[in-house]
Structure 1
Amino acid sequence: MSTHDPQSIPETKILASRAGSVPSSPDLEPTSANPMHLFLSRLHGRWKYVVAVGLALSCTFGLTGYWIAPVKYQSSSVLVIEASLSPLVEETIETEDISQFSAFVQEKAQQVRDMQVMLTAFEDPTLAAFGEDRPGFRETIFENISVRTPRASSLVIVSLDDSDPRFAAASVNAVVDAYRKIFAPNPAVEHQARVSKVDSLIAASRSKMSQLKLALNEISSNVRYGHSDLVSTIEQNVEQIQSLTLSLEKIDERMREIREQHGTQARISAADEKRDLDPTELEPSASTKISPNFTDLVSVDPSLAGFDDDVIEGRINFEVTARRFGKTHPTYKRAKMNYESILANFDGRVEAAKTEWDRAQGNSATWGGLQEKRNSLTEQLEELIATNTSLEKVKIEAEDKTLSIQAEAKELAKLESRRLNLEREKTTVRDGRVRFPPTKAVPAFVPSSDKRIEAAAGGFVAGWGMAIGIFFLIGTMDQKTFGVMQLKSESSRLAVLGVLPDMDHATSDGSSISLASDCIHRVRGRIEARRAAEGGYTIMVSSPFQGDGKTTLAVSLGWSYAESGYRTLLIDADFIGRAMTHQFGRLKEPGLREVVRGGELGDEIVELGHPKLKFLSVGFDRRISAANLSPRLFAEVLAQVRDDYDIIIVDTGPLTASIEALPIASAVDGVILALRRGRSRVRISECRDDIRAVGAEYLGVILNYADRSDCERYGSTSRASEAVSESIGEVPHSRNPLLAELKADRD
């Protein structure tokens, strides 16, 4: 490998083998296809056709939409329901069958669409004039007639929308007139019906009141007390119930005391006799009495409460004297006699009170007597409760009848008042419940519905959408390439290396030549960033189709490498086209065919006006052709020149059409594809797969004859690039447009 100028060729940092994969650059291989990029890709290069067709279609569709859009004229008539009838401001007796006034208005609105009304309207003479021009006018009226009732309003609006304002007005008038004939009420008959209804309601109310009064009298006669005495009787019974309840509570308390005293005495007796207590001994017998307590005795002899205090005071005095004097002392003896006298007097009174209490209580103080008394009081209590319950029911029923009588009396007063009002309002009521408009519907001058602008706008948008859709479909089916964006938007990752301008129409000014030079130098720089850094690196330049400019690309790329200090060899291996050999005027000179046949390299390689750029033509020996060229033979040719050159560029025929392309691809290190602007990009993926299948590295695709906008993206017109362009030397007789322009610029 030769040493290059470090200022012209940067050191390569990416290494890869022939069969290995090469890291992809983010700006060359997008990870995914953006939907917007895909859309623009399909339309790229076709925008002028899109605009032309879009203008034609949008104007056509817009005008068509404007002329065919429906224009409707509305005529309407208004019916006023009870507009002058004051009783309808609030509910009255004769209108109580109308649950809501709005429902009544809705009922009248439905009558307008009644089939009988429609059939009558169809026979109107004013509509007969439209029968010849509009044979289906009946269906039009029936389907399009509109009857509306605004919310919280007494209006019924009858309207019709039609393209003919005269027909709309005539139809509305015919329907309203038909409704007037069929459903407009007779005011006199309606008034008399109201009076009759109120009279019948008055009679029914009076009859109901009589029945209620009879029922109330019957209720009062069925009880022992009058209706007015029921409340006081119930209250007295309640007091008795409360008294009986208290008595029962006292008896229960007495019986509990007898049970406790009897049980205590039985336990003491069993303990004194030192025997076990029989549970039956705890149950009191019928003769078991209760022993009175001190409170019971005080109730018999109230003076016992004072004697009890005297006993306590005498005991205290005796205890004090006993502590001060001896038992033989006269004072002690007097105190003792005094205390014993008080105690004996107290005990006597207690016994007398007990005797009196037993006499007063008699049989009621025994267990059996208390049980009998308790049962008697319980029966009285239950009887009183049952009596009060029955009286409460009678009371409630009587109150209901009384309230019903009062309500019916109010209703009767209301009916009688209404009957008088009907006589006073005779004239107002006879005006009728439905008031018809004084004037008929007239033809409208201004459309109620005009869709022409919307239809025109929709047609305009649809025209543009159809134009875009047509060319999007064309772009999808026929994927011609008009810009780099279309190659980058492909999800198959075509690895765009750069572009070359259309030199056939390039101007001779310095900026165009400099831009072309920058484009090819940038392509070379991208290749260097991807290929392995080794000498004798062989690049095959091919294309999917004939005429894609691969020969121009190969020569231009070779010149760029030579200018950068690389020892560069151009080989024309296109056995059919021989374009490169023809450009350099060596069709009759020995070349690749002779080297393959002879097996060794002679003086077939010539210089192309640059010390670093050499050329091996295709040769003229017809015994060596594309049919008998094998990868082994071409690899032997490359082996003879790899050590002498840094870069070897091989020009072949189209990859999908030539015989020699794949055998040569299997012998080279990397392959570049050229695609002419306007050609289909569908075959590029197929070519890439074939290249990888034979073990070569696919370096990328270059768009040839690209627009200036793409060239400016992949190149520049700086002074540095112009200086490189001016340094290009003499070139032999050549028909390559790019080299000819570079040569002219140098001169």
Structure 2
Amino acid sequence: MIRDRLAGRWLMASVMGLTLGAICALVAWNMTPLLYKSSGLLIASSKRPIVVKMLQDDGTNAKSHESYLMTQVSLITSDDVISSAIDSEELEELQRSRGYYPLYTGIKSRLIALNPRGTELIEVIYQDEDPEAASMITNAIMNSYMEIHGNNKGMAISDTKKQIRDERQKIRTKINTLRRQQQDLVTNSNNVVSDVSGLISAKAEECATYNAMIEQINETLNRIESEQIRQGKEVTGDEIPDPTEQELMIFEPRINGLELDIEQQEIKLATLRSRLGDQHRIIRNLTSQIEATKLTLATVRVDAAERWKSGPVGKERSFRKQTEQKSKITEKLKSRRNEMRDLQDFQNEYDSLQRDIEANEIDGAVLDERLTSLEREESNIQEQVRIGQIATVPDSPDKDKRGPIAVGVFGASVVLVMGIFFLIGSVDQRTFAIRQLKMDHGQFHCLGVVPDTSKAAMEPEILNIGMNCVHKLRNRIESIRFRSTDRGYIMLISSPFQGDGKTTLVQLLGHSYASAGFKTCLVDSDFIGRSLSHSLNMLDKPGLKEVIKEGGIEERLVALERENLFLMPIGLDEMVSPEMMQVDVVEDLFAELRGKFDFVIIDTGPLSGSIESMPIASSVDGVILALRKGRSRIPLKRCVRDLHELNAPYLGVVLNYADKSDYRDITSVSKSIDQVIKEEATGIRKRNALTESLNMKTSRKRTQE
């Protein structure tokens, strides 16, 4: 698969891959820093007699000392030691040139402290691009460690513990004060609970309900004012609006029943009218009933509206009553909003106090943890640590990783470029070799190749090789052609693209069949390209177009110089178009050609773009497709699929302009007898000893006879 996808792209992919790989490797070489390692030693000894003496078998004291060493290792790389070292006079100039944060992150990532097993040594190691900076930082780290966690720290630990306890007491007092403020806030606000978010939500729902009621009242008042303005009257306050349809139906249930009766009667009327007609007695009676029901409904509506207005419900909807109700609801809405605002202020103040309490509790927990750490550290104050060896400036880098990194980047770049070209080859599947046409499980059925003869001036033998390829192609076609008839065999040669060399293949096969003794006719049916007629200088001759319009094949055939080879040019009549190449016309034409020739080879335009190719393909005895080297196989797949859908006898594909690697495996040229005799005379070639011995025995026997 890789060979297929990268076929024809190997050179470009290799050049680009090597170029990109070299560039990336050079960049990686220059960007990979050289690290110089500087190291110093701390000696951690113990004054405890039990440690100095022979250790007990259980190793308890040894484990205690090892734990102490591990603690010192972690303290050397701690943040406070690193920060103190950066702020020291030793690293003042380095901090100014590099910046505090880059210097801090660099030390944090490259600083190493370790305790070689079974020793009292602590090795402090630091790597840097600058050898002098490496030694300076290492010594600064050891000095800062000695200042912060050195031997004379017993009093410092006690003072620190006292300060932490005092600060912890202040935090407890502050937390108690904040909690009392919370309790006073709850007591003064008359709220039973501290979380009033539920009350706030309930107040918000009440406000939404009041707003909806005010909107409904405003709608009623606007309707009354509009009606009074329309009648040219002033609003006195006693006006009652007409009830809405929904209010009227709730007030008088008979309205809904009458409407349902009318709807059912109308459905029944529509059903019977389609069968009985408009003049039938039942239809007339049913129509009268519907009209009577509608009149009753109107009377009920008017009566219900009058009773609604004169009743208590209507009086409550008067302009004055609605205005008074709006004022009351507005006051309630204002009161609920004030209550909700007070609750929100209470909740915000309570939450603020709670956040302060939680922050102080976190600070107290940090102080408790620090106090515990100091108490553990206090138990080790009898241990002594001293600087055993200061760090020196290294003469050479510790490890030069530029080579392996550059090689890795080079390989990755080459693989990346090859991968990109592999993806390109997967999308754009071009054909550069015959093996690619044979990889598709027989879908294309490659018949053979035609060499690239553009180098014939430099390699004269390529012309003979090319004709041998064509003759072998003809023999293969003869062995697999589908329709074997007593009459002439008609073959179509087309291609997926323009310029695939189909016309050249038509001429070469025509010469091959003619030289084999078959009476052969070449037919140019490419109405657009007309390349066959052009290549044989027959554009000024009548031909296929005239046959389609007038008939008469004999007059349109042109005998070529090769014996048994004839041509039917495309013709001159511009009134004949490819749309006229219908199946019945093609069948009649082919019937006459079969009666006159052994083989007829048709040249059409590209199969996917020409109009005339499809009716011809469905009527011929065999179809061959030509594909130029370097062209995509995707259109070729479409052409093969179209031929199968037409039930056209597809024979296979021929690779045109093939390389030597393709036609070297398909054809060979035997040496002439003159060349063999010449090689034997010069000693380049020797006869077989076994055959010579047999020939000599045969000669002696004949002589004896």
Tell me the TM-score normalized by structure 1: 0.55
The CA distance in 1 between the partners of 2:43 and 2:470, in whole Å, is 89
Change (3 A) 1:680 1:111: closer
Q: Is the 8 A contact 1:515 1:716 kept in 2?
A: yes
Residue 84 of structure 2 is aligned to residue 132 of structure 1: no
Q: Which amino acid in the other structure matches residue 56 of structure 1?
A: T
Q: 1:498 aligns with which of 439, 442, 448?
A: 448
- Counterpart in the other structure of 2:115: 149
User: What is the Cα deviation at residue 97 of structure 1?
Assistant: 6.0
What code does the residue aligned with 1:175 have?
I
Match of 1:77 in 2: 40
Which residue does 1:168 correspond to in 2?
134
CA apart distance, 1:522: 2.1
Partner of 1:716: 668
Residue among 478, 485, 494 paired with 1:534: 485
Q: Indicate whether 1:486 and 2:436 are aligned.
A: yes
Inter-CA distance 511–45: structure 2 relative to 1 (3 Å threshold): same
For 1:501, the aligned partner's letter is P
| Pairing 1:443-462 to 2, within 5 Å after superposition | 443-462=393-412
Q: Does 2:69 match 1:105?
A: yes
Alpha-carbon deviations, 1:56-77, whole Å to 9, x = none?
2111101000011132221111
Q: Matched residues in 2 for 1:602 and 1:162: separation?
A: 95
* 1:123 equivalent in alignment to 2:87: yes
Pick from 45, 52, 69 the counterpart of residue 88 of structure 1. 52
- The residue number in structure 1 matching 2:656 is 704
Local SS of the residue matching 1:556: helix
2:469 counterpart of 1:519: yes
Q: CA deviation at 1:106?
A: 1.5
Whether 1:687 and 2:639 are equivalent positions in the alignment is yes
Deviation at 1:644, TM superposition (A): 3.6
| Cα offset, 1:668, TM superposition | 0.6
Distance 1:709 1:150 in 2: 66
User: Does the CA contact (< 8 Å) of 1:518 and 1:721 recur in 2?
Assistant: no
Match of 1:440 in 2: 390
CA distance in 2, matches of 1:439, 1:131: 25
1:152 CA displacement: 2.9
What SS does structure 2 have at the residue aligned with 1:130? Answer: helix
Secondary structure of 1:570's counterpart equals strand
Q: Which has the higher contact order (CA 8 A, sep 6+)?
A: 1
Rate the CA distance shift 1:185–1:90 in 2: closer, same or farther, 3 A.
Answer: farther
Q: What does residue 218 of structure 2 align with? A: none
Q: Which amino acid aligns with 1:67?
A: N
- Residue correspondence of structure 1 range 215-364 to structure 2 within 5 A: none
Paired position in structure 1 for 2:221: none
**Among 482, 502, 512, the residue aligned to 1:560:** 512
Quote how far apart the aligned CAs of 1:142 are: 3.5
The 3 A distance-change label for structure 1 pair 653 and 111 is closer
- Give the corresponding residue for 2:567: 615
How far does the alpha carbon of each residue in 1:641-669 deviate from its partner, in whole angstroms, 9 at most, with x for none? 22443322111111122211111111112
Distance 1:637 1:436, change over 3 A: same
Q: What percentage of aligned pairs have identical amino acids?
A: 35
1:180-191 mapped onto 2 (5 Å cutoff): 180-185=146-151
Contact 2:41 2:390 in 1 (8 A): no
Residue type at the aligned position of 2:467: S
Q: Distance in 2 between matches of 1:591 and 1:698?
A: 27
The one-letter amino acid of 1:604's match is R
Say whether residues 1:580 and 2:532 are aligned partners: yes
- How many Å apart are 1:84 and its aligned residue? 9.6
* Distance in 2 between residues matched to 1:160 and 1:564, nearest whole Å: 88
1:105 maps to amino acid:
L
CA drift of 1:717 comes to 2.6
User: 1:579, CA displacement in angstroms?
Assistant: 1.9
Closer/same/farther in 2, CA of residues 178 and 590 from structure 1, 3 Å limit: closer
Amino acid at match of 1:567: K
State how far apart, in whole Å, the 1-side matches of 2:634 and 2:489 are.
Answer: 29
Letter in 1 for 2:413: G
Aligned position for 1:571: 523
- Quick one: distance in 2 between partners of 1:552 and 1:139? 73
- 2-structure distance, mates of 1:143, 1:47: 44
The residue identity in structure 1 corresponding to 2:477 is I
- 2:619 aligned to 667, 681, 684, which one? 667
Distance in 1 (CA, whole Å) between partners of 2:73 and 2:494 is: 84
Q: 3-state DSSP class of the match of 1:175? A: helix
Which runs of 5 or more residues in structure 2 are unaligned?
Answer: 156-381, 676-705
Change (3 A) 1:187 1:480: closer
Can you list the C-alpha shifts for 1:203-241, whole angstroms capped at 9, x where unaligned?
A: xxxxxxxxxxxxxxxxxxxxxxxxxxxxxxxxxxxxxxx
1:149 deviation in Å? 1.6
Alignment root-mean-square deviation, CA: 3.2
Q: 1:721 to 1:661 in 2, by over 3 A?
A: farther
**CA distance in 2 between partners of 1:65 and 1:538 (Å):** 65
> Residues 721, 639 of structure 1: CA spacing in aligned structure 2 closer, same or farther, 3 A cutoff?
farther
Match of 1:630 among 582, 593, 606: 582
SS in 2 for 1:82: strand
CA shift at 1:636, angstroms? 0.9
Q: Which amino acid aligns with 1:569?
A: C
TM-superposed deviation, 1:433: 4.7
* Aligned pairs, number: 444
Q: CA deviation at 1:177?
A: 1.8
Q: Distance in 2 between matches of 1:604 and 1:78?
A: 107
Deviation at 1:85, TM superposition (A): 8.4
CA–CA distance in structure 2, aligned partners of residues 602 and 465 of structure 1: 64
- Cα distance change, pair 116–500 in 1 and its aligned pair in 2 (3 A): closer
Compute the displacement of 1:439 (Å): 3.6
Which residue of structure 2 aligns with residue 61 of structure 1?
24
Which structure has the bigger radius of gyration? 1
Are 1:592 and 2:556 counterparts?
A: no
**What is the CA-CA distance between 1:50 and the residue it aligns to?**
1.9
Q: Secondary structure at the match of 2:407?
A: helix
Question: Alignment partner of 1:58: what SS?
Answer: helix
Q: Is the 8 A contact 1:572 1:592 kept in 2?
A: yes
Task: Map Cα deviations across residues 327-376 of structure 1 (whole Å, 9 max, x no partner).
Answer: xxxxxxxxxxxxxxxxxxxxxxxxxxxxxxxxxxxxxxxxxxxxxxxxxx
CA distance in 1, matches of 2:639, 2:606: 10
In the superposition, relative to structure 1, how do residues 440 and 665 fare at CA in structure 2: closer, same or farther (>3 Å)?
same
Shift of 1:147: 1.2
Provide closer, same or farther for how the CA distance between residues 614 and 89 of structure 1 changes in structure 2, counting only shifts above 3 A.
farther
| 1:604-652 C-alpha deviation (Å, 9 max, x unpaired) | 3343333333322222233333121112111111111224433221111
| Structure 2 Cα separation of the partners of residues 105 and 90 of structure 1 | 19
Q: 1:60 to 1:113 in 2, by over 3 A?
A: closer
For 1:565 and 1:88, locate their aligned partners in 2 and report how far apart those are by CA, in whole Å: 115
* Cα displacement (A) at 1:98: 6.0
Give the deviation of 1:100 after TM superposition: 4.4
The counterpart of 2:7, out of the listed 21, 40, 44, is 44
**CA–CA distance in structure 1, aligned partners of residues 124 and 152 of structure 2:** 22
Summarize deviations over 1:660-691 as a string: whole Å, max 9, x none: 11111111121111122233332111111222
CA distance in structure 1 between the partners assigned to 2:581 and 2:623 by the alignment: 18
Scaled by the length of structure 2, the TM-score of the pair is: 0.58
Distance 2:154 2:4 in 1: 84
Q: CA deviation at 1:543?
A: 1.1
